[in-house]
A and B are shown apart, each in its own frame.
Chain A
Amino acid sequence: MCGIIGLFLKDQSLQAQLGTLLTEMLVTMSDRGPDSAGIAIYGGDGEVSNSMTKFTLQSNAPHEDFAELAADMAAATSIDDSKVWLAVKDTHAVLTVPAGITADVRASLGEIRPTVRIMSVGEAIEIYKEVGLPRSVAERFSVSQMRGTHGIGHTRMATESAVTTMGAHPFSTGADQCLVHNGSLSNHNSLRRKLIRDGVHFETDNDTEVAAAYLTHQMQQGASLGEALESGLDDLDGFYTFVVGTRDGFGVVRDPIACKPAVMAETDQYVAFGSEYRALVNLPGIDAARIWEPEPATVYFWTH
Chain B
Amino acid sequence: MQTFDLEEQGLRALNQTLHDQANDTNQTSWEIINPRGSHAIAVGLDAPIEVKIKGSTGYYCGGMNKQADILVEGSAGPGVAENMMSGTVVIEGDASQYAGATGRGGLLVIKGNASSRCGISMKGINIVVHGNIGHMSAFMAQSGNLVVLGNAGDALGDSLYEAQLFVRGTVKSLGADCVKKEMRAEHITLLQDLLNKAGANANPEEFTRYGSARKLYHFDIDNAGTY
Contacts and interface: CB of A to CB of B under 8 A. Distances in A.
Interface in B59-76: 59, 75
B37 A278 contact: yes
Contacts of A279: 37
B56 to A, nearest CB: 5
A293 B38 contact: no
A281 to B, nearest CB: 5
A277 interface: yes
Given A258-B116, A293-B94, A281 B37 contact: yes
B119 interface: no
Count class of interface residues, chain B = 10 to 19
A292 interface: yes
Contacts of B77: 261, 276-277
Interface in B132-147: 134-136
Q: Is the interface of B mostly helix, strand, loop or mixed?
A: loop
Nearest to B38: A278
A256 to B, nearest CB: 8
B26 to A, nearest CB: 33
Nearest to B76: A277
Contact of A293 (B37, B56, B115, B136): B115
Contacts of B38: 278
B121 interface: no
Contacts of A291: 56, 75, 93-94
Contacts of B88: none
Contacts of B134: 258, 295-296
Interface string B6-25: 00000000000000000000
Which of A258, A261, A278, A281 counts the most B-chain CB atoms under 10 A from its CB? A278
Interface residues of A, number: 16
Nearest to B95: A293
Interface in A278-293: 278-281, 291-293
Contacts of B94: 291-293
A276 B61 CA distance: 14
Contact of A281 (B36, B93, B96): B36
Interface string A248-268: 000000000111010100000
A277 B135 contact: no
Given A261-B78, A293-B94, A277 B56 contact: yes
Given A258-B134, A293-B96, A296-B135, 4 more contacts: A261-B78, A261-B96, A293-B97, A296-B116
Interface of A: 257-259, 261, 263, 276-281, 291-293, 295-296
Interface of B: 36-38, 56, 58-59, 75, 77-78, 93-94, 96-97, 115-116, 134-136
Top 4 closest pairs, chain A to chain B, by CB: A278-B37, A277-B37, A281-B36, A293-B115
